[in-house]
Amino acid sequence: MDHGRVSYERSLGGGPEWTFIVGRRFFAAVPSTTAPSIIDEFVARAPDASIILESLVALLPLAGEQNVDSFAVVCFSGETGDDGIPVSIIVRGQITATVYTVEGSRDFTDRGIRPWLLSDFQSVTAVRLAAPETSDGPEAVSPPGNGTGAVRGTALRWSLAHSNSHSSVEPTAANRYRVRLPSGDERPLDAVFVLGRRPRLSDGDGRRVVLIPLASSTSAVSATHLEIRQLGDAVLLTDLGSTNGTSVAVREAGTPHVAPVRLQPGVAFRVTADATVNVGDGNIIEILPVSER
């Protein structure tokens, strides 16, 4: 993606699932039931830096067996300025584009207009695509430069790299999360933690990196398996291409049982609540909130 970054939410409370396609100059949402051939057409155009909105919308049939009754397509219509970037958005059906600008935010829907509704926005700093009233959920974050492609989720967030939509402020000692290791030891998350059987250094973005070896008699834990770092008021969990994978369960108040989420290799998963991380061979890592003492 040429501008900013994207992240994908998976709502703990459920909600309609979408297929999100991200290109160099656009991002879009279509129902998860959309024909694979249509998704392939979008993905094929993802590297095109000269793509225009009309050519993308033309890929979406509005009648027939492959009819796409709800969608949103967002296309950058200019270059980034000091106060944001101009974008053009087309929406149809049961989807809302929440647009953030220097003047505030607004929800953009089709208002029942057919075949779809188009609007241009100036000085945009962030956009969220989701079905109406979809609550926020944990985010699988795609860092800047993560590329293009398609992924499923309940919401997509895009923000300029320099905007405040995702804080990158270095946490202070007073608001750091803590990590409870399989040994029972607790540590403040005051560095980038890299865990595995024989972990090696990763890119800490200039921050201190701490290597934490884990016992794994069956080698279920990879040599360099998992990265944990705090970014602003959240913790990012990244599976570093492990062989057997990593699962995360986020504990929410009033939700006694939460199905674990399997991390996508190389894509950071954002948590802001208690979380339990399973890397295999009985190795459970807990992310503890700041308030717990």
- Write out pLDDT tens, residues 69-120: 999 999 998 887 778 999 999 999 999 999 998 788 899 999 999 999 999 9
- Average pLDDT, stretch 178-198? 93
Query: Is 70 exceeded by the pLDDT of residue 145?
Result: no
CB 121 within 8 A of CB 105: no
pLDDT, position 252? 62
- Report the alpha-carbon distance of residue 293 to residue 289 in Å, rounded: 9
* pLDDT score of 164: 42
Instruction: Out of 33-37, 97-101, 124-128, 150-154, pick the least confident.
Output: 150-154
For residue 105, the cross-strand partners are 100
Residue with tokens 């800047």: 144
Alpha carbons 193 and 228: distance in angstroms, whole number: 5
SS3 at position 258: coil
Distance (Å, whole) CA 152 – CA 159: 18
**Across all residues in the chain, what is the average pLDDT?**
84
> Quick one: which of 143, 129, 71 has its CA closest to 97?
129
Confidence class for position 165, pLDDT limits 50, 70, 90: very low
Report CA torsion sign: 151, 76, 129, 44: negative
Listed residue (233, 231, 187) closest to 210, CA to CA: 187
What are the beta bridge partners of residue 127?
99, 158
Q: Is the pLDDT of residue 215 over 50?
A: yes
d(CA 83, CA 101) in angstroms, rounded, equals: 8
Phi (first) and psi of residue 168, to 5 degrees: -115, 20
pLDDT band at 138 (very low <50, low <70, confident <90, very high): low
Burial of 58 (0-12, 13-18, 19+ CB in 10 A): exposed
Residue 217, pLDDT > 50, answer yes
